[in-house]
Structure 1
Amino acid sequence: MDSPPPRASTPLGRASSGSLTSYGSGLAPPRTSVLLAKGGRPGTGLGGGSPTTARPMTSSKAAGYTSPARSGTGGAHPASPSKAGAPGAAPTREQCEALEERVHALLEAAAERGAAGDGSGAVDAAKEAARREQRLCAMLEAAGTGDQISLDLKYAVSVALGAAYEANGQPTDALGVYSQVIKSRLFPQAGWLRLNMGAIHFSQRDYAAAAKQWRMALDLTPPAYQRMRLNTQRNIGLALVRAGRYAEASEAFGAIMQEGPDHQTAYNLVLCAAAMGDAELMRQSFAQLLQVPPYVDDSLEGESSLEDAGEPAEPDALQEALQAKQAEADGYILSAARAIAPLLHPGNWARGFEWCREQLAAAGYAALASEVQLARANEHLAQREYAAAVGLLKEFERADSKQRARAAVNLSTLHLLEGQLEAADGYAQYCCEADPGSTAALVSAGNVHLARGEAEAALQLYEDALQLEPSCLQAQYNAGLACRALGLHDRALALMQQLLHEAPGHAEAMLQAGDLCDQLGDTAHAVEWFTRLLTKAPHDSGVLSRLGALHAKLGDEAEALACHTEAHAADRTNLDTLSWLGAHYVRRQDYVGAIPYFEAAARVQPREVR
């Protein structure tokens, strides 16, 4: 950032008795000194006065200096601006160093406040650091040591001010600061600030501008900084994905895979291929994902031989970190397989799952291949192809215990949907025994008890599941249903509200919460819940009819009529809506208007007494 030019300082002389007063800017010009000679006339420069008295020369310019005194005289000494202690004296080195230390302290304060979330305080500290840095430059110029001005400090001050603006939610000001630093051409590393500018544009959802800034930063990054170049390319790809330019994004991710492949980039490449619907590119990118080397710590191989066989090995932080990395990579691979499997063969989605399973097994990911098989079984369930799902799930009888338990959970649910409670209970019990720490197993067993009418036993299992995983939505919802079956409406409502706090768009929980509020006599809150539910199902005649009935309870006849009319438009066979509308016109003594609704109700249910 360009700093304002240092102000010109004019030294001021110190006034002394019997001498001339020198001046600076803003002072009156000096008066001509007149020393009266003998006889009362003014003395001249040729010694017309007393021979022992020195007369200062009259200056034609306001220079502020006196002529040197003659030898043997008692004239005044010149007023020197560099005299120690003078008001206009040049700043000392100690003063400059103290001011520089103050600038560094302000920079640290700005960084600390920004990290603590005090964006306004960070901006104030950064602005003060910028002002003091400009003052330091002016002092160094005045001292004649302008070559000692630190460009690194000036750059740090500018970057700190831009970062403070970002932290304070002032992206426009931050962009202005970064742009000025780049345009100044004083700092060779200023081009990397385009990374910050790209991040600001990305947060503003201006993805085209973000990609442009990151591409310019990539051009300025030397090849030696490989990691920075790869991260910048990854950011470019993500910006292009957000902009919907999947072909360009796949090119950016493909370039990364050529220079430094990693699981996340390969996963993004798979998603771009899926978004474009290019089956061949899906296969190629998935194969590249499987070719990325796994996280294996070769340096630790053979260490177990150095340990005593009877002593357990101490936890290894490096090994734990590698395992966490590998778990993350496995998640990318499994998500990619689930995403592309139904798209590889649109006419036969099962072939896509089979291809992914074969590729995983060939690459040595046997556990992930089993997960894909489970996903295939779930897809059969979604397509209501129960026989095929059961056949796949029973293949897991030869798998390890955890996979058998997961397959048993699905089998238990499947038999429960078919009404085969004994078979469902058998699989649920096996799940709990094979994997006692599985929330899915506990929820599955609770579902069987709830279907049998054993609400208390089901509630206990749901509570056990919530102790293992408090955020399990299935356990919360089913526990609410169990409480409602036991008549614990307040507790059921609390569970539904807790679920809606974690998952605000859960439509079934909204319906239960509204119904429970209605039963508890809180009609106003019931209206709120059904109104929210209406945003998820705007044309559901049942929700509209129920909302109209609640408005009628509150005495809002106009709103009730509007809701029931809209419900009738969505479903002309809803008896509750037809009955309410007919009764509404009867109450208004508009019998002609009521007749069509009663006739429609009679056609729907000719034997209904109403």
Structure 2
Amino acid sequence: NFSLPSTCATGKHGGGEPGGKRDQTPEEQIKALERKVNALIEDSAFAAEAGEQQSALEKAKEAGKKERQLTKQREQASLGDQINLDLTYCVLFNLANQYHASRMYQEALNTYSAIVKNKLFNQSGRLRVNMGNIYFEQGKYSQAIKMYRMALDQIPNTNGDVRLRIMRNIGSAFVKMGQFQDAITSYEAIMEASPDIHTGFNLVVCYFALGDKERMKKGFSKLVATKLFPIETNEWEDPSVSSRKSGGKWGAEGSDFGIRGSALGGSTAPGSASGWARAFSVMDDDNVDDLEVFHEDSLRALARHHRKVAERYIVLAAKLIAPAIESSFAPGYDWVVDAIKASPASEIASELEIAKAIQYLKTKQFAEAIETLKSFEKKDQKLIGTAATNLSFLYFLEGENKQAEKYADIAIQVDRYNAKALTNRGNLHYVKNNLHKAREHYLEAISVDASCTEAMYNLGLVYKSEEAYDDALACFEKLHAILRNHAEVIYQLADMWVPTWQFLARSFAVCEKDFQFARSDLLQVYLC
């Protein structure tokens, strides 16, 4: 959306002669009313910025009333030739913006129409972009495209950046309509004129939607060749640190590679998942360099943010097309890694190799996953902890506990605050029945990452094995508050009541009827 012109921000509160010792002339009254209108526009804009949308809309409407009163007063004073078009434009424009922000779409469209149809307002036709945005939000994509094209016709070629943004909007509307070829036409024109990461990513997605392997490769090559946002480095700072702050998630986002089996030291039900402590294979904690923390400024932070976003789009595009551009995902990942290594974003090539290893895990090709992860031991010091965490999980999954311990210890040495590595190490103590050590590692993992549900679940199993049922119940109840519909957690909550009812049955003379009633309640918990 276009911003409010600076001409609207003139004027001061108040009006009239100091002390009010004489009547104001019509010109002075008009000037005073103009200042009130300007003040209302400013107050409306500030209220909107503060999130007080209702107040912003009310002040915008009040400004409109005052402006109409001002016009009428000019006509009565025969000063119609002194009309302030800039003020009228500002009032209408601000009102339309506030209607839009309040989701009063029809009122906003009517107000914008009043502006664009008024020939006295120069270049008002570009506000059709705002009208197109409203139609886009309403899901009326054909009308949105019509408005965008009308705006494009009224914007000169000298405003190239604005024209490209409108073309991107047109492409997005075509994507929403499923007309990918039309969207590709818009996106390709932008990438030829002024390549950018967002458009390049959208173009790759469109090629993927059409299943065109060659154009997927071509589009990805253009995407990675796009110049990234530069980050200045100080002479005393390691350039590699500044150029690549590990802010993304290494590995498969949201993957949960849990181990299923029977419980150790506790009662189980067939098919339950209450036994083996679950391992988590993905490390997603940011490794923050102290030097950056103490020597960061807002400009470099902004540059770093833009670069991080760009790298995220590249990684997403790579993960999207890698399984589709070749006969299998492995050569596909090899191709995207080679393409990235030859691009300005070469630092993130290792992330794609980690993603390749995770893909091997998903397809249960454990030997290939281990081989890929082991290659990081001597390749990239930054990723040793990530690879070691995943290797620890893999060896634990295959029952090779010595190797699992080795890599879990390496991961913890690299990053003492790696909750996933701490959980894996606790699991290894758990299977050895070293419950005290397992509990320590789980508690440390939770202190590092309070949302580490794997450590929380496994800690509950430890307490349960130690017959500390109150502590176990507290763990599972806390976990249930986070994972409301998780079958394993619900089972553990139900299973907690078994020792309680056994104790009651031994301690009290419970009549058969009451005991059967109690067991029926227990069954309801099992069947949640």
What range is the shorter-chain TM-score in? 0.7 to 0.9
Aligned equivalent of 2:358, options 374, 378, 398: 378
Whether 2:520 is the aligned partner of 1:553: answer yes
Aligned equivalent of 1:336, options 310, 317, 331: 317
Whether 2:499 is the aligned partner of 1:499: answer no
Task: For residue 376 of structure 2, give the secondary structure of its aligned residue in structure 1.
Answer: helix
Please say if residues 479 and 495 of structure 1, whose CA atoms lie closer than 8 Å, have aligned partners that are also in contact: no
Assess, with a 3 A threshold, how the Cα gap between structure 1 residues 288 and 99 changes in structure 2: closer, same or farther: same
Please say if residues 493 and 517 of structure 1, whose CA atoms lie closer than 8 Å, have aligned partners that are also in contact: yes
Assess, with a 3 A threshold, how the Cα gap between structure 1 residues 459 and 103 changes in structure 2: closer, same or farther: farther
Aligned equivalent of 1:515, options 488, 491, 498: 491
Q: Matched residues in 1 for 2:386 and 2:80: separation? A: 74
Q: Matched residues in 2 for 1:275 and 1:97: separation? A: 59
2:195 match: 261
Q: Matched residues in 1 for 2:523 and 2:409: separation? A: 52
2:369 match: 389
Task: For residue 117 of structure 2, give the secondary structure of its aligned residue in structure 1.
Answer: helix
Assess, with a 3 A threshold, how the Cα gap between structure 1 residues 218 and 455 changes in structure 2: closer, same or farther: farther
Whether 2:160 is the aligned partner of 1:226: answer yes
Pairwise mapping of residues 126-137 of structure 1 onto structure 2 (< 5 A)? 126-137=60-71
Assess, with a 3 A threshold, how the Cα gap between structure 1 residues 90 and 415 changes in structure 2: closer, same or farther: closer
Once the two structures are TM-superposed, the CA of residue 320 in structure 1 deviates from its matched residue by: 4.2
Whether 2:305 is the aligned partner of 1:324: answer yes
Give a deviation string over 1:3-45, Cα, whole Å, max 9, x none.
Answer: xxxxxxxxxxxxxxxxxxxxxxxxxxxxxxxxxxxxxxxxxxx
Please say if residues 118 and 168 of structure 1, whose CA atoms lie closer than 8 Å, have aligned partners that are also in contact: no
1:114 match: 48
Q: Matched residues in 2 for 1:173 and 1:550: separation? A: 62
Q: Matched residues in 2 for 1:379 and 1:556: separation? A: 40
Give a deviation string over 1:545-566, Cα, whole Å, max 9, x none.
Answer: xxxx999936999xx9xx99xx
Q: Matched residues in 2 for 1:352 and 1:163: separation? A: 47
Once the two structures are TM-superposed, the CA of residue 230 in structure 1 deviates from its matched residue by: 2.5
Please say if residues 480 and 495 of structure 1, whose CA atoms lie closer than 8 Å, have aligned partners that are also in contact: no
Q: Matched residues in 2 for 1:373 and 1:511: separation? A: 33
Pairwise mapping of residues 214-293 of structure 1 onto structure 2 (< 5 A)? 214-293=148-227
Aligned equivalent of 2:341, options 351, 361, 381: 361
Please say if residues 128 and 150 of structure 2, whose CA atoms lie closer than 8 Å, have aligned partners that are also in contact: yes
Q: Matched residues in 1 for 2:518 and 2:92: separation? A: 60
2:14 match: none
Aligned equivalent of 1:417, options 383, 388, 397: 397
Per mean C-alpha deviation after superposition, the further-off stretch among 155-164 and 276-285 is 155-164
1:11 match: none
2:7 match: none
Pairwise mapping of residues 437-586 of structure 1 onto structure 2 (< 5 A)? 437-479=417-459, 481-482=461-462, 485=465, 487=469, 488-500=471-483, 510-519=486-495, 553=520
Give a deviation string over 1:245-292, Cα, whole Å, max 9, x none.
Answer: 222222222121112112222122112212221111110011101211
Q: Matched residues in 1 for 2:186 and 2:432: separation? A: 56
Please say if residues 225 and 344 of structure 2, whose CA atoms lie closer than 8 Å, have aligned partners that are also in contact: no
Once the two structures are TM-superposed, the CA of residue 466 in structure 1 deviates from its matched residue by: 3.9
Please say if residues 446 and 456 of structure 2, whose CA atoms lie closer than 8 Å, have aligned partners that are also in contact: yes
Per mean C-alpha deviation after superposition, the further-off stretch among 288-297 and 125-134 is 288-297
Task: For residue 376 of structure 1, give the secondary structure of its aligned residue in structure 2.
Answer: helix
Once the two structures are TM-superposed, the CA of residue 471 in structure 1 deviates from its matched residue by: 4.0
1:294 match: 228
Assess, with a 3 A threshold, how the Cα gap between structure 1 residues 485 and 518 changes in structure 2: closer, same or farther: same
Assess, with a 3 A threshold, how the Cα gap between structure 1 residues 296 and 458 changes in structure 2: closer, same or farther: same
Please say if residues 446 and 462 of structure 1, whose CA atoms lie closer than 8 Å, have aligned partners that are also in contact: yes
Q: Matched residues in 2 for 1:386 and 1:180: separation? A: 66
2:83 match: 149
Please say if residues 91 and 139 of structure 1, whose CA atoms lie closer than 8 Å, have aligned partners that are also in contact: no
Give a deviation string over 1:320-364, Cα, whole Å, max 9, x none.
Answer: 44333333322222222111111012x322111111122222336
Once the two structures are TM-superposed, the CA of residue 459 in structure 1 deviates from its matched residue by: 4.2
Q: Matched residues in 2 for 1:337 and 1:348: separation? A: 14
- Which protein, 1 or 2, shows the higher relative CO under an 8 Å CA cutoff with sep ≥ 6? 2
Once the two structures are TM-superposed, the CA of residue 149 in structure 1 deviates from its matched residue by: 0.9
Once the two structures are TM-superposed, the CA of residue 437 in structure 1 deviates from its matched residue by: 3.5
Q: Matched residues in 2 for 1:211 and 1:179: separation? A: 16
Assess, with a 3 A threshold, how the Cα gap between structure 1 residues 422 and 339 changes in structure 2: closer, same or farther: same
Please say if residues 44 and 55 of structure 2, whose CA atoms lie closer than 8 Å, have aligned partners that are also in contact: yes
Task: For residue 397 of structure 1, give the secondary structure of its aligned residue in structure 2.
Answer: coil
Please say if residues 337 and 356 of structure 1, whose CA atoms lie closer than 8 Å, have aligned partners that are also in contact: yes
Please say if residues 489 and 516 of structure 1, whose CA atoms lie closer than 8 Å, have aligned partners that are also in contact: no
Task: For residue 405 of structure 2, give the secondary structure of its aligned residue in structure 1.
Answer: helix
Assess, with a 3 A threshold, how the Cα gap between structure 1 residues 461 and 271 changes in structure 2: closer, same or farther: farther
Whether 2:387 is the aligned partner of 1:407: answer yes
Q: Matched residues in 1 for 2:446 and 2:166: separation? A: 42
Q: Matched residues in 1 for 2:65 and 2:459: separation? A: 62
Once the two structures are TM-superposed, the CA of residue 379 in structure 1 deviates from its matched residue by: 1.4
Q: Matched residues in 1 for 2:113 and 2:54: separation? A: 21
Please say if residues 401 and 434 of structure 1, whose CA atoms lie closer than 8 Å, have aligned partners that are also in contact: no
Q: Scaled by the length of structure 1, what TM-score is found? A: 0.63
Q: Matched residues in 1 for 2:449 and 2:143: separation? A: 43
Pairwise mapping of residues 419-438 of structure 1 onto structure 2 (< 5 A)? 419-438=399-418
Q: Matched residues in 2 for 1:512 and 1:290: separation? A: 43
Task: For residue 398 of structure 1, give the secondary structure of its aligned residue in structure 2.
Answer: coil
Q: Matched residues in 1 for 2:518 and 2:222: separation? A: 59
Please say if residues 459 and 472 of structure 2, whose CA atoms lie closer than 8 Å, have aligned partners that are also in contact: no
Amino acid in structure 2 at the alignment position of 1:341: A
Please say if residues 460 and 475 of structure 2, whose CA atoms lie closer than 8 Å, have aligned partners that are also in contact: yes
Whether 2:324 is the aligned partner of 1:348: answer no
Please say if residues 480 and 490 of structure 2, whose CA atoms lie closer than 8 Å, have aligned partners that are also in contact: no
Once the two structures are TM-superposed, the CA of residue 152 in structure 1 deviates from its matched residue by: 1.2
Q: CA RMSD in A?
A: 3.4
Please say if residues 270 and 336 of structure 1, whose CA atoms lie closer than 8 Å, have aligned partners that are also in contact: yes
Task: For residue 377 of structure 2, give the secondary structure of its aligned residue in structure 1.
Answer: helix
Q: Scaled by the length of structure 2, what TM-score is found? A: 0.73
Count of matched residue pairs: 430
- Name the larger-Rg structure: 1
Assess, with a 3 A threshold, how the Cα gap between structure 1 residues 551 and 147 changes in structure 2: closer, same or farther: farther
Gaps of 5+ in 1: 1-88, 305-311, 523-548, 565-610
Gaps of 5+ in 2: 1-22, 238-290, 499-515
Please say if residues 456 and 475 of structure 2, whose CA atoms lie closer than 8 Å, have aligned partners that are also in contact: no
Please say if residues 397 and 404 of structure 1, whose CA atoms lie closer than 8 Å, have aligned partners that are also in contact: yes
1:67 match: none
Once the two structures are TM-superposed, the CA of residue 372 in structure 1 deviates from its matched residue by: 1.8
Per mean C-alpha deviation after superposition, the further-off stretch among 247-256 and 276-285 is 247-256
Amino acid in structure 1 at the alignment position of 2:490: G
Amino acid in structure 1 at the alignment position of 2:160: Q
